[in-house]
Amino acid sequence: MNPVLEVSGLTKQYDGFRAVDGLTFALEEHTATALIGPNGSGKTTTLSMLAGLLRQSSGTIRFNGAGNDPRSTIGFLPQYPNFFPWMTAMEYMELAAGLSGLGSREVRTACEKTLGFVGLGSAGKKRLGGFSGGMKQRLGLAQAIVHRPALLLLDEPVSALDPAGRREVMEMLKELGESTTILYSTHILNDAEEMTDQLLFLRNGQMIEQGPLHEVRKKYGGSGYRVLFADRKAAERFAGAAPWDANADGQAVTISGESVSMEELLRFAAEHSQGITDIGRASIRLEDIFMKVVEKP
């Protein structure tokens, strides 16, 4: 596969400190990559450099298949998009689409379609000054995708939204991900888990871990099983009786995937079925990986 974006040794030096320090990674076509890290780890600076807002101190950024101006192949959504309060949503979209090079004839339909896609179909004539935070975020997404960019750069696309809004935007991103390459930063790890092919962990501007989700998962504990019980006592009894490595934690017992097969576990559980309410596979959560990676010396 051909990477859409190749970044090598990307560094941003400010007086006295490096906000971004030697990042190297590539984005394959039509994949979603999550840029994860604590506050101040350089996520926004990285995205700003990729979007062409900031010039890197050193390193290279290569867009494959982009014309003279790589900005025409990018859609960018900042964490808090700012709009002209005196404009209407439709006027803004038409300006954005026109500036990104859409022909005058396609502008109108593209804008209507995109506003509809992000759920602002009926807000086209509203002034942006009266938009709520959630509506601004949606319009932010709309202006980023209206010219159908090959690469979407999203800075914390769902962090400012309520759970319902978050769900909707995640669904939109998943749909977009089928035809677009997406790089997004987030600290909402449940969401990242849902829509990520590749993970990039940043800390203090450095890449401290990267790789496909399943590989990172394997590296930090892999998968196992989780058995749920009606009460804590039953869980403890089960863990005590089990012949393999089993940890009781409240009403749940987790069992490492390396020590036992599903078949063996089920056979054992059939004999000790008292109090079991649920049994299944459990993989290490991204949140746990995040804590391990970030705290890694």
d(CA 21, CA 12): 7
- The distance of closest approach from Cβ of residue 263 to other proteins in the complex, given in angstroms and rounded to an integer, is 53
- The distance of closest approach from Cβ of residue 205 to other proteins in the complex, given in angstroms and rounded to an integer, is 16
- The distance of closest approach from Cβ of residue 219 to other proteins in the complex, given in angstroms and rounded to an integer, is 33
**C-alpha 129, offset from chain centre:** 29
Number of alpha carbons in the 13 Å side-chain half-sphere of residue 99? 12
Which residue number, 151 or 248, has a Cβ lying nearer to other proteins?
Answer: 151
Which residue number, 84 or 244, has a Cβ lying nearer to other proteins?
Answer: 84
Calculate the alpha carbon distances from 108 to 91, 103, 104, 114, 178 in Å. 10, 10, 8, 10, 24
Footprint of other proteins (CB under 8 A): 44, 48, 51-55, 69, 71-72, 74, 76, 78-84, 86-87, 91, 95-96, 98-101, 104, 140, 143, 155
Residue length of the chain: 297
Which residue number, 169 or 246, has a Cβ lying nearer to other proteins?
Answer: 169
The two structure tokens encoding residue 276:
């079991």
- The distance of closest approach from Cβ of residue 17 to other proteins in the complex, given in angstroms and rounded to an integer, is 17
Please, where are the H alpha helices in the chain?
A: 43-50, 89-99, 104-117, 133-145, 163-177, 189-194, 213-219, 232-241, 262-271, 286-295
Which residue number, 144 or 234, has a Cβ lying nearer to other proteins?
Answer: 144
Q: At what angle do helices 104-117 and 89-99 cross, to 10 degrees?
A: 130
- The distance of closest approach from Cβ of residue 161 to other proteins in the complex, given in angstroms and rounded to an integer, is 19
Which residue number, 35 or 216, has a Cβ lying nearer to other proteins?
Answer: 35
Q: Are strands 206-212 and 198-203 parallel, antiparallel or unpaired?
A: antiparallel
